[in-house]
Amino acid sequence: MGKKFLTTLSALMLAAAMSASMFSLAACGNKDNENEKDPPRQELTDKELEGTVLADWTDGKAKPVFESDGWTNESVFNTQWKADNVKYENGTMKLTITDNPAGSEETNNEYFGGEARTHQYFGYGDFEVCMKPAKKAGTASTFFTCTGNYDTNPNTGKPNPWDEIDIEFLGSDTTEVQFNYYVNGVGNHEYMYDLGFDASEEFHEYGFRWTEDYIVWFVDDEPVYKVEATADSPMPSTAGRILMNYWCGTEEAEGWMGEYSNPGSEGAEYKWVKTSAEVEWGEIPEEVEVEEFEGDWTEIDALAIELEASTNDAETDYTISAGSDGKSADVTWTKAGTYNNVSYGLAENDATEKNWLHMTLKNNSSTETTSARINVRSELGGVTTTTNSYGFGNGELLRTNAGEGTFVDLAPNTTVELEIKYTGVISKVEIMLDSLQSSVITKSGNITISDVKLAKQGEVEIPDVPESNNQGININGEKHIIEGDLGGTFYIINSNEDLNSIDVTYTGIPGASYKNVNITDIKSVAGDKTTLTFTVKNNGTENVTMRADVVGEKAVNANHSVCNISATINGEAAATDAEWGGSTFTLAAGETYTIVVAYDAKYVPSSLQIMLDSSVYNDTATHSGDVTISNITFSGEYVPEEGGEEEEPDEPVVPGESTSIDLANTTVYGGSYTTTTNADNTLDVTYTDVAGNSYQVIELQGIATSLQPKNVFTAKVTNNGTETVNFRLNITANQVGNNASCNVSATQDGTAVRTDTEWGGSFFTIEAGATVTIQVVYDNARTLLAVQFMIDSSVGDATLRSGNVTISEMALALIAE
């Protein structure tokens, strides 16, 4: 789920979807009640929703849907998702809100909330739910489809745009329901529908039909509201998950949600979900069989441990005090950093022929709950990996993520006895304490670690370490040995001299780890060429996402040194990322492909990196595969520019007669920013704690007719703050491929700056106290929509930034091509 960039009620929802199974449903609710009110209706004749059952909670948990756990959507949510807040009782799935003793409104997690989402992603079709929202001020009960840049499209290898379709109930008035949708992050399509009954009193059916040309919403099988696509307002088009969640907002949301307080037994309840949509991608995971440890831990001696902190700098201040017996240790802290940990090693003679770990954690604080993750680290072929299979805390099954460890919350003054099943030969145990976030937080804690014991039950599973025969490959007559992330659970290389190929096999590669095999010192064969060609065959049974980077010694831009210009796969164009580098290809199981990458040799190509199933942004899955790469060749003649000088940027466009944008006649959408339109036609923007990867926007709406006949946007931007501001500007339009921005080029004070023509946007850097003139040339042949500013929200990191900016002298001009 994506996670940190939605800011309005609808925007802040996440979404999910699954495959369908056929069986009959009990009636959702009483459909015979006459409406007590006469809600406004369109004259609609759409046929009833169709679909088969995706999830039914009559008998408890439904496999296509899973519980969100361990994160928050940030502002304006004041809710952290917790699996325990999704309950299966009385033939329903019930989402609840409870106090979070370790949370605060400052960190957007003062409460725990419930969210359920499908494993799979669905496209166009009918979506329907039988639900009963909660009647509680300050809350929202929802059903929606959604995707965003936290999801990666396996067909493109790129983050999805933010597309969403919503059904939302505010607990302050459950006689109304809100319908809404987003297209590539553009929303503001809210419509409040008067139901004529109180939805919180009994179950009813709600749904929508989603097509390329329109969306129509239904209540109890009756179509009640419809929107249709226009040239200026397309419909959502990207497959998403189906989601249901129940949450409360921060003080910032009280104006429209009401104030939340005093969690009780209330919650949003759901009987079933149906859909007619096809699964676009995603799979329902296989269930993991678990067994309990049947031995007696009291009969096993505790091991001596010597605890170490992973760091002792500004990131964290873990202080360790060893127990007098050498078999325990206290850990205290007042702040926690990013995934920092304390750890202890285990001698090989203690760990041999063992597969269960025992450990006791005691929370000595009387007020603070500690969140902990325990990673069992094992050696495999010289590589250390996390090998937890599953774990128990005081006899209760705990959440364990493959490759990430076992999670447990320690309430104040409590002791938890941990039992963790693992594979491999354990070498070290890492314990992350309140550090499962991407920034440093102020958080006090004190725990005691003791009773570390190892035992064996059943067969000890030691994964095989594949053998490698890395003899390299001939490229343009030269022998090159393969390097990179080799061995163990990473890539295994076997060369075939007769076929001049390498076979690459791998097991358990994390999807966003950017592990790679690489060939260094290619300057002699690639430096005077322009084209890379090679053959690749997917020998496995699953699709493989492959990324190929020709890496230069010189930086291409601030983000990368990858020289790739364009690429094809079997003659068809493939995606090349101009912003972050690399060309990405999808390899179908059993198929053979010819890959061609054009690159710019002026950046001095020095290595070739190939990533297999490891370069999909935000992919939390692990992958295995078998790929053969052969016939690597560099060709084409590179002719350096005269004098060896690099290409100068184009001269900035000089606008002709321009027309000012009148803010008095323009709708300004501010999102999480505070915007003020002044009498002198300037726009002030202030913001606090905006995350660098949240992609928040300020949007000038209602100016499409002014944009269309022009093709240059100019403005002055003043940074009134004390820190440098990262400023991104999008002239938005109908989406083409990945790009809903039609920017062509841009300058800052007459100097060319980067414009991303694949994913959109022009990027400016404005020093503290500076005033700059920015200019964007855009393509007016596309259907124009609006102007978007992203201020300190599109940097790509999670750092929180605050600032104050004034935008002035906004104007449009037409420059002949």
Both tokens of residue 485?
Answer: 């992330």
Q: Rounded to the nearest 5°, which phi and psi values hold at 664?
A: -65, -25
User: How far apart (Å, rounded) are the C-alpha atoms in residues 156 and 738?
Assistant: 9
Quote the DSSP letter at residue 179. Answer: E
Cα 745 from Cα 757, distance rounded (Å): 9
Q: Which two tokens stand for residue 718?
A: 């003043």
Start-to-end C-alpha separation, the chain: 43
Radius of gyration of the chain (CA): 28
Q: Say how far apart CA 531 and CA 181 lie, in whole Å.
A: 44
And the tokens for 633?
Answer: 């060749």
DSSP string, 206-234: EEEEE-SSEEEEEETTEEEEEEE--SSSP
**From CA 754, how far away is CA 7, in angstroms rounded?**
27
The answer for 91, left when phi > 0, alpha when psi is -120 to 50, beta otherwise, is left
Q: Cα–Cα distance between 69 and 71 in angstroms, integer?
A: 6
- Cα torsion for 534, 539, 541, 547, to the nearest 10°? -30
Check if 699 is active-site.
no
Alpha-carbon span 190 to 179, nearest angstrom: 6
Read off the tokens for 30.
């009483």
- φ, ψ for residue 526, nearest 5 deg: -115, -20
CB atoms < 10 A from the CB of 777, how many?
A: 24
Cis peptide before 76 (omega within 30 of 0): yes
Convert 499-525 to b/e letters by CB count within 10 Å (16 or more is b): eebbbbbbbbbbbebebbbbbeebeeb
DSSP string of 782-809? Answer: S-EEEEEEEESS-SSS--EEEEEEEEEE
Under a CB-based contact definition with an 8 Å cutoff, are residues 148 and 5 in contact?
Answer: yes
Please, what's the largest Cα pairwise distance for the chain?
A: 88
Nearest-10 Cα torsion for 47, 53, 57, 59: 130
The residue whose two tokens read 């700059």 is 772
Closest CA relative to residue 189, chosen from 793, 787, 785: 785
Distance CA 207, CA 274 (A): 9
- Catalytic residue (one of 168, 205, 269, 280): 168
The yes-or-no answer on residue 379 being catalytic is: no
Q: Which residue in 67, 115, 128, 164 is the catalytic one? A: 164
Strands 98-99 and 396-397: unpaired
CA 3 to each of CA 13, 157, 239, 614: distance values in angstroms, whole numbers, following the listed order: 9, 19, 17, 21
The number of residues making up the chain comes to: 817
> What is 491-537 written as a DSSP string?
BEEEEETTTTEEEEEEEEEETTS---EEEE--HHHHTT--EEEEEEE
Instruction: Give catalytic residue positions.
Output: 164, 168
